[in-house]
Structure 1
Amino acid sequence: MLRPIDVGSVEGLAYHRAWDTLYWTSSTTSSITRHTVDQTRPGAFDKEAVITMSEDDHPHVLTLDECQNLMFWTNWNEQHPSIMRSTLTGKNAQVVVSTDILTPNGLTIDHRAEKLYFSDGSLGKIERCEYDGSQRHVIVKSGPGTFLSLAVYDNYIFWSDWGRRAILRSNKYTGGDTKILRSDIPHQPMGIIAVANDTNSCELSPCALLNGGCHDLCLLTPNGRVNCSCRGDRILVNDNRCVTKNSSCNIYSEFECGNGECIDYQLTCDGIPHCKDKSDEKLLYCENRSCRRGFKPCYNRRCVPHGKLCDGENDCGDSSDELDCKVSTCATVEFRCADGTCIPRSARCNQKVDCADASDEKNCMQNKHKCEENYFGCPSGRCILNSWICDGQKDCEDGLDELHCGE
């Protein structure tokens, strides 16, 4: 066991179940320390300080997210009070909430929705926000001195009230349905925790499986549903991918590197970095992505165009694009796309791209003007190369060559 002199003045305490390790904050040493309970355990931590702050900083309440490898704490710095976070090893420490905050005395995590809840004793309110401090919402506001310790479970936020010596709860979404669960407690209630089998389970998070289908950030709504988002100034496009606002890359056939470069989409996740920043081979991207429309996933997680399936060439690299090949035949009332798929014959040359490879709109008769093979006819009678279809540039006067490309 640890002697009191070894740990300083403990303000916040949290337990990492998987590591059998205690984390605590000390206001006297301005630090966060971890120590494994069973010191015979392989890789045990022995009073390791993971965060050391300045004398003006006073870490207070502490909470852990084992699933995301993150810890959060309140800092009672008199001049700059805040809520901070870092990894469980103390790396990448940063302030996530620093405005409209005075005495952050309560802090807890909604593990199901991956949201942060905190209370301010001086301002008398409970707020909810994202892990990065964004999307702040006031949930409950009752006046100074009301809130002390917080806990979240199911659809409710629970807290201890020093003034009334009571335990209360409210709806975690709206702040309504407030009830006093227990009052007239003989001693002022301090900490409060919610204990259940599913209070902190990584396996229950929708983002744990294939990053929730998101290309970049997988966030959760307050009710635990996936909400894909993008870092920085990038925007979310179809199939939950992120691109820069003024990207010069073709969103159908090219991949935008993290530094803005454009490479052939088929070159991504092939084990060879083609982007200078190697973003086309990032494990998080390659392990969690879904192939774009018009592409089929290989067993090795590469993506190849439908038109290259069963063509006698090993395009996947593991030959999975040449397995289970059958001669594709379409009914007499259907049109066969170049990639082998069948669409209604009425969809042929209807000025709408129905085939993933746009072959249903190639070599069409427009205004009694027939274009040569490998050319596309615009309504004006102008012929353009088939390769110009869906390339991000409007070559037909009415932009027909760029319509319905993402459908």
Structure 2
Amino acid sequence: MSRLQKSLAVDAARGWLFAAGGGSVWRARLDGSRRRLLHNGTAVGDVALDLQKAEVYWTDTWEGSVWCARYDGSRARRAARIAAAALAVHAGRLYWLDPALRGGSVVSAPLGNLSDHTVLVDNAGSSLKDILVWSRAAQTFPSNLTHATTEASNALDLDLDTGADLDLDPDVAAGDAAWSTCGGGGGCEALCLFGGRARCVCPHGELAPNGKNCTPYKSFIMYSRVTKIDSIHLTDERDLNSPYPPIQDKELMRNAIALAYSYNASRVFYSDIQRGAIHSARFDGSDHRVLLEQVGAVEGLVYDWTTDTLYWTCASAAALRAARLAPEGGGAPRARTVLRLRHDDRPRGIDIDPCEKRVYWTNWRANKPCIERALTSGGARAAIISSRVLMPNALALDRAARRLYWADARLDKIERAHLDGSHRQLVTQDRASHPFALAVAGDWLVWTDWVARGVFRAHKLRGGTEALRRDVPRPMGVVAVGPQHAACSSDPCAVLNGGCAEECHSEGGVARCACGAGRVLAADGRACGAAGGACGARWACAEGPCVPQALVCDGVPHCSAEPDASDEDLYYCSE
């Protein structure tokens, strides 16, 4: 079967799926196995089944005719020369649509004499597409088939296609077994499909160890595509059964851009820039609601699971903002401004390091694009990447490896560096023509790209780009959903130097501050001063002079002209 198949027909009782389109007609089991080409022609349109006689009908639009054959493709014959756009079979009669007859007609004739036709409806127009006979009989076990027989079941194990060693119609034999084992759902939570023997399958989620129930996938990819949010598998792009059904809502979802998620709550958060709001829904699409209104053009979004807080970039107001999520039933969360940026700043991608309580974001302002970071309190803002960048669009942290990844939409490449911006390396330039969003998933990088129109992955160290989804117009945000664990060091000195201005020593899991030679610990237990208390009540600079306490950590260096002067020490001022 191929993408050219446009028409489907199912015989559920016998366990067969028929597909027609392009120039061919195929048959397969309901699980896609045991595929067989029944007809290879020039132009095949619609397909329909005679469930009583186990025959398949199809239209040949090239020669203007209807053909018929047994389920195994044998005894193929031209049934009539009629120009049918669509077919249906019911109670010994063929029904079809003829757009050219009497201004567009619905026609019926007995299967034994298709020339003896009756026009049921005329002047229906030339845009007739499909026809369906609504009947209980179409979903009832055929009268000429009996429920499971031991003989039929045994035939399945011998040869499903030939019925070898048994004087049975193989399709009838297979149908009996399919009906007997899938009747009543076969004990399956979702679907029971017949492919030689009945088995349970899950359209979304994975099959549980008991072979009956469906359980949610533990990790997967979600990406937004304007009016819906889709999920896909990370490591098997051939598996088109998405982990969850698409999330969409005609009223709530107008233009979904940025994504974030809470694994423990099984919720996805997304921004809608047309509504100027942040919304939330469960992974399965239920409990879809507005979370925050009037937040502007939010293009980057991240969730801090350690504090239950959303952080986002706002392009329309040039700021980093946040909101602590309220417990269920606790009312709407309230947004606050973490850091107000300059009017010419253009913040886009965002991620968070919960261990060091830092927010990282991209800024593609026109005069000096860069990648920046700051504490979640808004302090200690610094540009860590400011050269050889033009439009740093997407950003993601590899928290386990302590690495930063970003994508430049003008330089068409993805790079990585240490969290302080050092040790910069190129990852890939393949299918990175205009990357919009980026995520780290274990050993993989996943991104969306507007120009390449798809969702792609590459190994974060070896590169090698592969497409997970193609032909996606305007793919937006992307997240790699998985258990969220803050891989923070157990050493209290590993995070912000334990809040110490100079030396930090771990004693019994507690940070103890110390000072270098000739200096003593200040009264606050974190700062260091000259021995002998030469500065008195003033603050002792590591560089030598003393400054008033009111000038310490005010954002302006006073101990020296250097931006990293001791009175503005990052670790000391972070506490």
What is the TM-score of this pair, normalised by structure 1?
0.50
What is the TM-score of this pair, normalised by structure 2?
0.36
Q: If each structure's strand is expressed as a fraction of its own residues, which one has the higher value?
A: 2
